[in-house]
């Protein structure tokens, strides 16, 4: 480093030191938590460093990166991983849960005319109407992928399809559609019960009891659809999935379907989990998954975006949805 630049660098370090360290995190809560920033190797029950994790990811055919949707740190770390995997010479396809099949054409057309324009994706696919958190949160992942020349695809089935399944369950669906997703073979009973529990918990007891089976079926169908997208889009360089952590759990979600669809190909599931107050050790984070152990290969702990009670937030969201529906009705 030339003398003048080295000097400026040292001055910057001194100033930063005097002002206190700049936090590497965007999420505001529990940045000082003992697990924040640590990586946990689940099978070996020990902490791992980033080099070990990247090496494991680079050698897997399917790389599943499970997130909390509104946590910007999760997306920045996903983007870092995409760059690291591409930097190691891999060119996997990358599929997003947040895009569905109805957006496939618009996404492909946009990327054909503007192959590096990650910002323009939002408008091209009508992201604002989709209900997902701001595109700016996801944009770093898309930017890293496009910079590396990776193909981006939607992973999810359409909302209309999922709603149809949630209303009518297996009986309401075309047999070919079900067979194409491999859902004619039921999940093992224990895992089915685990999905039902997830649906019940996620809707804070508001999901009508008589609908839970069909909603659980819709959730599994989404998993199977994402697995099929990964398997069909993956060439020799494999594929990466960006999805909620629940979809990336090894015991029953996308990995379960991938194992059936692509036997012999390797899968690595990394979940980014937000730390909780009073939970200083990794095994404590298995309970929210209704599981004895963490259902991932690795977990990367980060600070938390929102410390309000999850069901309080659910009720707020539900109220907004109901107000939106009432406003739309009044306009007719
Ligand atoms: C603030 C959180 C949430 C709210 C307010 C909410 C609300 C709803 C509502 C009103 C429906 C009825 C169908 C519709 O109109 O879309 C529904 C369906 C559904 N929800 Fe949730 N939900 C939330 C979180 C979750 C989570 C975390 C999961 C995942 C475990 C989930 C899984 C499902 C599934 C599988 C369906 C069936 C239809 C579909 O897949 O789109 N929901 N949700």
Q: What is the distance between the alpha carbons of residues 301 and 35, in angstroms, rounded to a whole number? A: 6
Does residue 309 carry a pLDDT above 80?
yes
Given the DSSP bridges, would you call strands 93-100 and 152-156 parallel, antiparallel or unpaired?
Answer: parallel
Residue found under tokens 């109220």: 319
List the one residue out of 236, 189, 198 whose CA is nearest residue 216: 198
List the one residue out of 290, 248, 239, 246 whose CA is nearest residue 266: 239
97-149, pLDDT tens digit by residue? 999 999 999 999 999 999 999 999 999 999 999 999 999 999 999 999 999 99
Residue 58 is assigned to a structural domain of this protein = yes
**CA-based end-to-end distance of the chain:** 67
List the one residue out of 254, 320, 297, 274 whose CA is nearest residue 55: 297
Average pLDDT over residues 172-185: 89
What is the 281 CA–ligand 1 centroid distance (Å)? Answer: 30
Q: State the chain's mean pLDDT as an integer.
A: 92
Does residue 20 carry a pLDDT above 70?
no
Q: Is the CB of 318 under 6 A from ligand 1?
A: yes
- By residue range, what is the domain housing residue 218? 35-331
Does residue 17 carry a pLDDT above 80?
no
Residue 7 is assigned to a structural domain of this protein = no
Residue found under tokens 């990247």: 54
Residue 303 is assigned to a structural domain of this protein = yes
Nearest CA to ligand 1 atom 25: 202
Total structural domains within the chain: 1
Does residue 22 carry a pLDDT above 80?
no
Q: Is the CB of 168 under 6 A from ligand 1?
A: no
Residue 24 is assigned to a structural domain of this protein = no
What is the 32 CA–ligand 1 centroid distance (Å)? Answer: 33
What is the 13 CA–ligand 1 centroid distance (Å)? Answer: 47
Residue 101 is assigned to a structural domain of this protein = yes
What is the 157 CA–ligand 1 centroid distance (Å)? Answer: 14
Q: Which atom of ligand 1 is nearest to the CA of 199?
A: 30
273-297, pLDDT tens digit by residue? 999 999 999 999 999 999 999 999 9
pLDDT, residue 323, reads 85
What are the angstrom distances between the C-alpha of 57 and each of 53, 79, 193, 229, 232? Answer: 6, 13, 30, 19, 20
| pLDDT interval class at 184 (50, 70, 90) | confident
Q: Is the CB of 274 under 6 A from ligand 1?
A: no
Q: What is the distance between the alpha carbons of residues 202 and 208, in angstroms, rounded to a whole number? A: 12
Residue 268 is assigned to a structural domain of this protein = yes
Count of other CB atoms within 10 angstroms of residue 196: 18
List the beta bridge partners of residue 300: 39, 272
Give Cα 80 to chain centroid, integer Å. 14
Residue 54 is assigned to a structural domain of this protein = yes
Residue found under tokens 């990995």: 255
Residue 9 is assigned to a structural domain of this protein = no
Residue found under tokens 């057309």: 109
Given the DSSP bridges, would you call strands 62-67 and 46-48 parallel, antiparallel or unpaired?
Answer: unpaired
What is the 296 CA–ligand 1 centroid distance (Å)? Answer: 23
Q: What is the distance between the alpha carbons of residues 241 and 95, in angstroms, rounded to a whole number? A: 5
CATH number of the domain enclosing 238:
3.40.50.11550
């Amino acid at each position: 480093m030339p003398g003048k630049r080295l000097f400026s660098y040292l001055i910057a370090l001194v100033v930063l030191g005097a002002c206190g360290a700049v936090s590497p995190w965007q999420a505001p809560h529990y940045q000082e938590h003992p697990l924040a920033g640590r990586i946990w190797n689940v099978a070996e029950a020990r902490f791992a460093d980033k080099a070990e994790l990247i090496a494991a990811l680079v050698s897997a055919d399917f790389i599943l990166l499970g997130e909390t949707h509104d946590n910007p740190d999760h997306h920045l770390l996903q983007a870092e991983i995409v760059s690291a995997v591409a930097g190691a010479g891999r060119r996997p396809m990358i599929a997003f849960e947040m895009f569905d099949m109805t957006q496939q054409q618009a996404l492909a057309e946009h990327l054909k005319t503007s192959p590096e324009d990650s910002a323009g994706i939002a408008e091209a696919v009508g992201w604002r109407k989709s209900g997902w958190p701001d595109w700016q949160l996801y944009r770093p992942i898309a930017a890293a992928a496009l910079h590396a020349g990776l193909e981006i695809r939607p992973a999810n089935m359409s909302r209309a399809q999922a709603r149809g399944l949630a209303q009518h369950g297996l009986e309401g669906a075309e047999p070919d559609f079900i067979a194409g997703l491999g859902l004619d073979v039921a999940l093992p009973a224990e895992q089915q019960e685990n999905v039902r529990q997830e649906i019940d918990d996620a809707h804070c007891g508001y999901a009508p009891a008589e609908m839970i089976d069909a909603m659980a079926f819709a959730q599994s169908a989404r998993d199977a659809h994402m697995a099929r997208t990964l398997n069909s889009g993956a060439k020799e360089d494999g594929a990466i999935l960006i999805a909620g952590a629940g979809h990336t759990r090894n015991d029953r979600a996308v990995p379960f379907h991938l194992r059936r669809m692509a036997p012999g190909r390797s899968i690595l599931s990394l979940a980014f989990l937000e730390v909780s107050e009073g939970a200083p050790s990794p095994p404590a984070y298995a309970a929210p998954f209704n599981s004895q152990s963490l259902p991932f290969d690795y977990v990367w702990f980060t600070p938390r975006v929102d410390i309000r009670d999850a069901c309080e937030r659910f009720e707020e969201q539900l109220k907004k949805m109901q107000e939106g529906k009432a406003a739309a009705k009044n306009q007719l």
